[in-house]
Structure 1
Amino acid sequence: MSTHEAPQAGDLEAARLLLARLGVNPADLLADTAGSTERPVPTVAEWIPVVTGLVPPSTARAYRSYWARAEAAWGERRLDEVTASDIRAQAEKAKATAVVRRNSRGGRSAAENFVAALRCLYRHAEDDGLIDERRNPARRVTTPRRLPSTRRALPDERLSEIIEVVAATGDDPELDTLLVRLHIETACRRGGALALRLRDLDTDQCLLFLREKAETVRWQPVSPTLMRHLETHARTRGATHPDTPVLRYARSGPLTRRRYDHLWNRVARHLPWARAQQISTHWLRHTTLTWVERHFGFATAHAYAGHTDSHDNATSTYVKADLTDIATALATLTGEDHPLAHDRRQH
């Protein structure tokens, strides 16, 4: 029941006198606000192209299918007309219709990515003052809890089997063995390897400039042997300009993600255990970082991985590894001296 009391006659008269003194017509207070300078809230379909142009290409590529789903569901609705329940419902649909693969987890990643994509849209709308934080429906949707990864470090004998298959099969073993060694030494992600340019090779100090996800960048030590092979590979396959990609096919230009797909599909055909466990490039990252952590500690492994996130414990604020620590770990891993490493210790 409303507790609002009707205004008294004296109050109304006082209000009229005040408005008259201010020169305001009461009808003006009810007039249409079309002349207001406040920006209209765009529709979902109008806002998606704007955000696509604001985020990095890798983010736009990752969220494109989820934004398309949102546009199909609510394209003509304004951003402030979409509710948290709407987003939850579409996240569940994304989960239910996710492509089923051998390593699928019931569509949880699809639901998580859909919510993340919507949060990205609404975060930019908040930043532009188009929607208030308290009216942001994406903030009120909880993302599905991410399950622990099934990836793990590969035992030495399994890693040796992969290297043998890569070196003995395929139409370009030289390229594939170079790829595998690059990922084992640097623990870089696939995107970091594909983004390598000729200018990213510091041959004097045996360093690679890696550009990876979330626009992170870092210098990563590599062995003199790998550096020599990378430079030779690039030069003999037509890389001459500083911005030319390093990793290249024998005849058809820069490497693409498809090469990785072909490589691991071939490994899976020859190694049943690799097919059963869905071994991929990221397993090499797990393998190297686990080895570094066991022999040189968490701080060095964290730096080796190129992680920039903060930790939960206070000690990590003070205990950090630098490029010299990473180079020392690499020198021990490869058995080769590195120009930036400490004298190699026995681990």
Structure 2
Amino acid sequence: MTTKPDRVATARALLAHLGLSAADLTSPGVFTVPTVADYLPAVVAAASPGTRCTYGSSWRRLAAALGDRRIDAVRTSDLEALMRQAITSARPHRNSRGGRHAGEHLIAAARAFYNRAIADGYLTAGDSPAHRIRKPRRLPNTRRALTPDELSDINSAARSGGNDIILDALLLRLHTETACRRGGALALRLIDLDTEHALIRLSEKGGTQRWQPITPMLASRLSDHAQARGAAAPTDALLRYRNSQPATYRRYDLLWARIGRQLPWVATQGVSTHWLRHTTLTWVERHFGYGIARAYAGHTDRRGPATTTYIKADLHAVATALAALTGRPHPLATSAPAVS
């Protein structure tokens, strides 16, 4: 059969576009689909540090159960079985939801795994077994804004015991003023504190960064705390234990467990640091509106009505809300009506 020149040219152009040569089509093993265990290191290497931290345990569970399977041989039922195991074996916590979060987390991790396989050309989007599974339905959130009396009781309990009440008090004050997440607080470095303008630079979800106003009093106390506990280089952690080691998530667990022993309702309702975020942002939204609350929270997503694109607030507006919330002046705040 005679080969038409135009077809040859088209084939060569397609191979070039794919980064292949004619020899690659006859080379053994070029298109061999890896097993889950063999492919996982590539997924981990391509993931961001935050993604590795978030999905690492679920990826290891996936490799332990299905590591010898080719990634295109894993069935939807295999992943559903793993999801059920994750739900039933989830360790109960103060704010547990019957293992639903563990099941949802495993499916999210499996989807991240298969998203990489799709991007690498091993599968098409329609072939992914993880994307054919419906995540467990989320139950309504039980978090709420704390009342002023409840917040006062929590702060009093934090200062009445424990082996590091200075750090505990700083954590509660920091989260109450900024509504930041735990990861944002623990990521703070000496270079992220601007005492002159009473600002901290928060690095949070999705690699986002923003400057957040804090009261000059808190800025001064954070600076004194860091220097007293050995922070010297610009990249040294701001929040530190008494032995000069950077604070970790474990501190929050110990803090709320201790407060829960003193205030039973805290343990019963599963109050956590994120409740402080709800408390502050609810207050800001009620008194200053959605746009400023959105900026205060550091939300940058574009979901929701198109008008959210135009509802923006600058740093001065956030500083003004902080001044009203705390009753303390801020160097970047503009004049605003008094808030009762």
If the length of structure 1 is used for normalisation, what is the TM-score?
A: 0.87
Aligned residue type for 1:152: R
Aligned residue type for 1:125: A
Unaligned runs of 5+ in 1: 1-17, 23-32
Q: Which residue of 2 aligns with 1:337?
A: 329
Q: Which residue of 2 aligns with 1:39?
A: 31
Match of 2:104 among 89, 106, 112: 112
Is 1:133–2:125 an aligned residue pair?
A: yes
In structure 2, C-alpha distance between the alignment counterparts of 1:151 and 1:299, rounded to whole Å: 22
Q: Which residue of 2 aligns with 1:82?
A: 74
Match of 1:314 among 290, 306, 313: 306
Q: Which residue of 1 aligns with 2:14?
A: none
Question: Are the equivalent residues in 2 in contact too, given 1:197–1:245 (CA < 8 A)?
Answer: yes
Match of 1:182 among 164, 174, 178: 174
Question: Are the equivalent residues in 2 in contact too, given 1:41–1:131 (CA < 8 A)?
Answer: no
Unaligned runs of 5+ in 2: 6-24
Compute the displacement of 1:214 (Å).
Answer: 2.4
Q: Which residue of 1 aligns with 2:287?
A: 295
Compute the displacement of 1:21 (Å).
Answer: 11
Question: Are the equivalent residues in 1 in contact too, given 2:237–2:246 (CA < 8 A)?
Answer: yes
In structure 2, C-alpha distance between the alignment counterparts of 1:99 and 1:34, rounded to whole Å: 51
Match of 2:184 among 182, 192, 217: 192
Q: Which residue of 1 aligns with 2:138?
A: 146
Compute the displacement of 1:50 (Å).
Answer: 1.3
Compute the displacement of 1:249 (Å).
Answer: 1.4
SS of 1:220's partner is: strand
In structure 2, C-alpha distance between the alignment counterparts of 1:69 and 1:124, rounded to whole Å: 18
Aligned residue type for 1:73: A
Question: Are the equivalent residues in 1 in contact too, given 2:215–2:329 (CA < 8 A)?
Answer: yes
Compute the displacement of 1:127 (Å).
Answer: 1.3
Q: In the superposition, relative to structure 1, how do residues 335 and 36 fare at CA in structure 2: closer, same or farther (>3 Å)? A: same
Per-residue Cα deviation, 1:171-221 (whole angstroms, up to 9, x for no partner):
222221111100100011111111100000122221111111222211111
Q: Which residue of 2 aligns with 1:260?
A: 252
SS of 1:169's partner is: coil
Is 1:73–2:65 an aligned residue pair?
A: yes
Q: What CA RMSD, in Å, does the superposition of the two structures yield over aligned residues?
A: 1.9
Compute the displacement of 1:89 (Å).
Answer: 2.2
Compute the displacement of 1:84 (Å).
Answer: 2.0
Aligned ranges 1:212-231 → 2 under 5 Å: 212-231=204-223
SS of 1:285's partner is: helix
Match of 1:171 among 143, 163, 179: 163
In structure 2, C-alpha distance between the alignment counterparts of 1:246 and 1:236, rounded to whole Å: 11
Compute the displacement of 1:281 (Å).
Answer: 0.9
If the length of structure 2 is used for normalisation, what is the TM-score?
A: 0.89
Aligned residue type for 1:238: G
